[in-house]
A and B are shown apart, each in its own frame.
Chain A
């Protein structure tokens, strides 16, 4: 487990009076008072080597503080910082990663409403703080640009607070949808609620836009939300001087569905289907990350049968190839190489067919379950995969011949969108983006889950950190994924057909584990567990109070933090580079907005 030990922080007890170090089963956390928070973060970053910012958010403890039983349980498991403080409603947490020693730590603090802003330490934190402001109404002191992250500016509520109901406050008359025409009473599914929650009007959007960007140059170009180059519904504002971009801002939230709020109201297995819809291009990897997180909380990781682990690993690597293929196709399409797009989609289709044959779904898969997988591999699945991996590398070589040494391709990619290693930490990027900058950060190696500890593969890294390096890294990752898939196939062929694919948990653990996961209670605990998605580290911070539903789930979306580097990269570049850089970051809006 990649967590720091208590002894690592013994020298910090002196300067920080309120510091408590707690080693839990799933996390190691530093509890500190709000006043000393910023200093502690600074020391951790500059002296202790916790340079990479992973995540920051807030847990609303309102319900726990009101119920004595839950509170006592939570205190007994020491997942609440400073339990003597029963007034401060919010518990903020910062998850940091030590790059040299490869371990994580969680910093926690409590607050009523305000927090100091850590935007000077990590730019990524600036975006995370905006999200917390949006969702919880936390005011950050010293934040340069505290505007809403997902909701529009005139929205009056803070949706992730516990006193905000799941269905929202129905306040507005819905136009036309529920109109009762000429006294007809609409029956069944046509009988809508007359009232509806807020939806933004055009004026609201205009106010939001105005608030984002102060025009400095000639034209403000609205790039998106519906634009073929933005890979989804992202809204960029470019302030243009001729074709040169002076400043950039991103307006997110076009696809915001409140997945984290939904998670609090769903059972652990039910939330699985929402992970599909976050990063819809790599649904299996997201499923896997979530399932592994819950298994770790339950402490049943070792009971998951080998077969299930290998199947999950194999399929999520296929999914990684699938996702990278879509990236390669659209990247080439953005740069004008139209043909590669169709080549990629042809191969992608074959992976989709394989996945469909095994799991029954093509896009939103939901195949893994807490404790294993939904069903066994069908007959002939391994042969299909083998025939695919056999020819895929040849196809890949063909495409590389079109692109990799192509002079135009080099001209468009070399030296464009350079992220130096220090900036990579500052902006909290992960996945191929950070590896393109030469940092071998890969969750599959740092904190191996499922069968990743047992298979052999290399982590490709770049040298310059430009778009071309990120391109090479992703291409190489596909080859490595093929390697992993081949090893998994070999292993699965050796396993007997009757081998179990779902966990049997011994009776004394008292865990009600079933395929549908109904009534599965997760003990009072917290965990930060992550998986390596094709786009970067997809982390789940889960806070449980022993119920059948999680108390709080914070998703660490890799695309969201990867995207935060975009305005920095776009400074003084032309519009043509906007597509190159955006495509090389490869965000998925379903995930940035959740």
Chain B
């Protein structure tokens, strides 16, 4: 009885911590993005609200929340609101299976810094990822407007194409690790002394492409392509209802998928890897905190890389994107699986 209560308490604390981190960081990533974009574009970015605009996300949130709630005439109010829930919930749920670091002990109680270490974690991740398409499709449909409809159709087309590619891409690391549990994949990488990116570069590239496509980042941001569709499927949303979509798509999803990428390809919380030899930890002085910092650093690096792309590249056209998914990414991912299957026995021993 006592252990059940303790377990529940620990799970509750974990949920609070993860939610707090995810939503708080999500909001503050808007500030990071604006700053990064500004410096790429040779301008200072937000400077007025707080020191170097640090309070800007709060001001933005306040503004969005206090805005009038507009609703398009003849729209479907239930689906319109459901779309927001469907966008936010699956994206946040993904963090349930992301391991932030190794197991540690507090007061003699072992805690894994992961909400639930289920053995089908990756299936869960991509299942939840597929749910995003409902949010977009419903948002487009319920708005009763042409631009959102076109935008949501585009997005649905992309997600369906890249779901296939991303699933086949992660097959490589899964075969190498021999498990679907995210925690176990990291542990296996540490045991095998190998970041999977060294022998799965193709899978990693396909994964990154799919990540950009699913989160609607440049060069795949066609569902909101300002110049063509104004802002795509969010045209008819206003205030915080509008704010949730970019928050989910551009920050929470990018964050969760980057974290999954780190888990799959960069050995999660492990320090720098020399293939087959071991790990070098320049951050050893941090002691037990070092793995968490490593995890954070890797995710940050990936996120900044995505921002860099976003503020540099032009965007593709819808037919070019789907063409690339089916004609290049999918065959590449399939070839990669065959390749992995051949070399996997070598890694396993």
Contact = CB atoms under 8 A, between A and B. Distances in A.
B154 to A, nearest CB: 8
Given A574-B319, A576-B228, A221 B146 contact: yes
A337 B311 CA distance: 7
Contacts of B225: 336, 576
B219 A408 contact: yes
Interface stretch (A9-17, A38-46, A101-109, A327-335): A327-335
B77 interface: no
A346 B38 CA distance: 13
B315 interface: yes
A342 B315 contact: no
A575 B313 contact: no
A575 B314 contact: no
Contacts of A229: 226-228
A586 to B, nearest CB: 14
Interface string A198-227: 000000000000000000000101100001
A575 B315 CA distance: 13
B227 A412 contact: no
Contacts of A219: 146
Contacts of A342: 41-43
Contacts of A334: 227-228
Interface residues of B, number: 30
Interface string A208-251: 00000000000101100001110000000000000100000000
Interface string A558-594: 0000000000000000111111000000000000000
A339 B314 contact: no
Interface string B309-323: 001111111111000
Interface in B26-42: 37, 40-42
B317 A227 contact: no
B41 A243 contact: no
B222 interface: yes
Do most interface residues of chain A lie in helix, strand or loop, or is the interface mixed? helix
Nearest to A337: B314
A381 interface: no
Nearest to A227: B230
Given A346-B42, A406-B313, A412-B317, A228 B219 contact: no
Contacts of B146: 219, 221-222
A339 B37 CA distance: 8
Interface in A335-361: 335-339, 342-343, 346
Contact of B313 (A337, A346, A577): A337
B236 interface: no
Nearest to B226: A228
Contact of A336 (B40, B153, B218): B218
A228 B227 contact: yes
Nearest to A333: B227
A402 interface: yes
Contacts of B43: 342
Interface string A74-118: 000000000000000000000000000000000000000000000
A411 interface: yes
Interface in B222-245: 222, 225-230
B42 to A, nearest CB: 7
Nearest to B312: A339
A452 interface: no
B150 interface: yes
Contacts of B147: 221
A409 interface: yes
B221 interface: yes
B145 to A, nearest CB: 11
Contacts of A408: 219, 313-316
A411 B41 contact: no
Interface in A395-450: 402-403, 406, 408-409, 411-412
Contacts of A412: 314-317, 320
15 contacts: A221-B150, A229-B227, A335-B314, A336-B315, A338-B37, A338-B218, A339-B37, A406-B313, A411-B316, A411-B317, A412-B317, A412-B320, A574-B317, A574-B318, A576-B225
